[in-house]
Amino acid sequence: MESHHHHEHNHRLTSLNKAFIIGIALNIAFVIVEFGVGFYYNSLGLLSDAGHNLGDVASLVLAMLAFRLERVHANSRYTYGYKKSTVLVSLLNAVILLVAVGIIIAESIDKLFHPVSVDGSAIAWTAGVGVIINALTAWLFMKDKDKDLNVKGAYLHMAADALVSVGVVVSGIIIMHTGWSIIDPIIGLVIAVIIIISTWGLLHDSLRLSLDGVPMGIDTQKIQQLIMEQPGVKNCHHLHIWALSTTETALTAHIIIDNITQMEEIKHHIKEVLEESGIQHVTLEFENKEVTCNKDCCAD
């Protein structure tokens, strides 16, 4: 069972590594094309969007770097290795997304008060390519987006860009047929609101993990109850749960048992049920008599 799980984990890492490499290559190519078209047609919109897409390339590179750092072995200075880097990168990516939204809002408001004529046809065709590139990249991360915050961040970046590109296509077509350049900033503002709503959860979860909060999906009280339901366990206190990385969770606890000679057997059962609950790294301290829980105890 362990070897099967290890095989699945390695397969997933390999699959995600390929997804990041493909996504980075596709988006770098698109940024070059978009910069070229924007420069040729003197389109500030396309040049700005190319700069935004370049930021997304940087985010993908950071996320891939975090996955590689996660596999670096622990040492005497970093006893957990560099697993926490995945949490820091997911937080950074959430911030980058919000900064990008801020830029979109600022540019849209500026265009509302200072409208400029643009080539609707060139914008629509270039943005149409962007829809395909970004949607394809988002699809590469879609199946794993709920398993890891970095993958979710990459997915949201690409999905948001695809949405932006759809908006640009629509505005380009409308401008091409009506000449209403004001449509461009209006659609930009609508898209910015949608991105903020979709990004807020990523920012919240990343900030929570960076502060060693209990990962989403894990109920501390239920975990404590689960431990206390195991045979031989009388009580559980000093329970702490936090994220080692965006995919691994750790737990420490003091366990009070009746018979200290059964410690190894009880420890095995507790670790088994906790792993089934998504907690992989467990450190337990056993006691054979009641103790007074001090202020560090988090179990209410």
pLDDT tens over the chain, length 300 residues: 444 444 445 545 566 778 888 888 998 998 888 888 877 776 666 666 777 777 778 878 888 888 788 778 888 888 888 888 888 888 888 888 788 788 878 888 887 887 766 667 777 888 888 889 889 988 988 888 777 777 888 888 788 888 877 877 887 788 778 877 777 777 778 777 877 877 788 888 889 999 999 998 899 999 999 999 988 888 898 999 999 888 889 999 999 988 888 899 999 999 999 998 889 899 999 987 655 455 444 444
99 in a structural domain: yes
Q: Are residues 32 and 93 in the same domain?
A: yes
292 in a structural domain: no
Q: Are residues 205 and 241 in the same domain?
A: no
Q: Residue 121: which CATH number?
A: 1.20.1510.10
- Please identify, among 161, 188, 210, the residue that sits at the C-terminal boundary of a domain: 210
Q: How far apart are CA 68 and CA 280, in angstroms?
A: 20
Q: Which residue has the tokens 């507790």?
A: 270
215 in a structural domain: no
Closest alpha carbon to 36 in 179, 25, 28, 108: 28
Q: How far apart are CA 64 and CA 255, in angstroms?
A: 39
277 in a structural domain: yes
The predicted structure's pLDDT at residue 13:
57
- Crossing angle between the packed helical segments 85-113 and 183-210, to the nearest 10 degrees: 160
Closest alpha carbon to 150 in 92, 229, 80, 236: 92
Q: Are residues 191 and 89 in the same domain?
A: yes
In sequence order, the 6+-apart residues with CB closer than 8 A to the CB of 66 are: 85, 86, 88, 89, 90, 150
Angle, CA of 276, 281 and 286, to the nearest 5°? 95
Q: Which residue has the tokens 């179990």?
A: 299
In sequence order, the 6+-apart residues with CB closer than 8 A to the CB of 144 are: 12, 15, 16, 151
Q: Are residues 35 and 152 in the same domain?
A: yes
296 in a structural domain: no
Q: Are residues 228 and 84 in the same domain?
A: no
Q: Are residues 248 and 101 in the same domain?
A: no
The predicted structure's pLDDT at residue 118:
64
80 in a structural domain: yes
Q: Residue 243: which CATH number?
A: 3.30.70.1350
Q: Are residues 193 and 228 in the same domain?
A: no
Q: Which amino acid does the sequence have at 116?
A: V
The predicted structure's pLDDT at residue 90:
83
Please classify residue 75 by burial: count the beta carbons closer than 10 Å to its beta carbon, then call 0-12 exposed, 13-18 middle and 19+ buried. Answer: exposed
165 in a structural domain: yes
Specify whether the CB–CB gap between 115 and 175 falls below 8 A.
no
Specify whether the CB–CB gap between 16 and 151 falls below 8 A.
yes
Q: How far apart are CA 275 and CA 282, in angstroms?
A: 9
Q: How far apart are CA 94 and CA 137, in angstroms?
A: 18
Q: How far apart are CA 233 and CA 223, in angstroms?
A: 13
Residue 119 DSSP code: -
Segments forming the whole domain that contains residue 273: 220-287
How many other β-carbons are positioned within 10 Å of the β-carbon of residue 169?
Answer: 20
Specify whether the CB–CB gap between 208 and 218 falls below 8 A.
no
Q: Are residues 69 and 91 in the same domain?
A: yes
299 in a structural domain: no
Q: Are residues 180 and 48 in the same domain?
A: yes
Q: How far apart are CA 200 and CA 40, in angstroms?
A: 36
Q: Are residues 118 and 235 in the same domain?
A: no
**3-state class of 116 per DSSP?**
coil
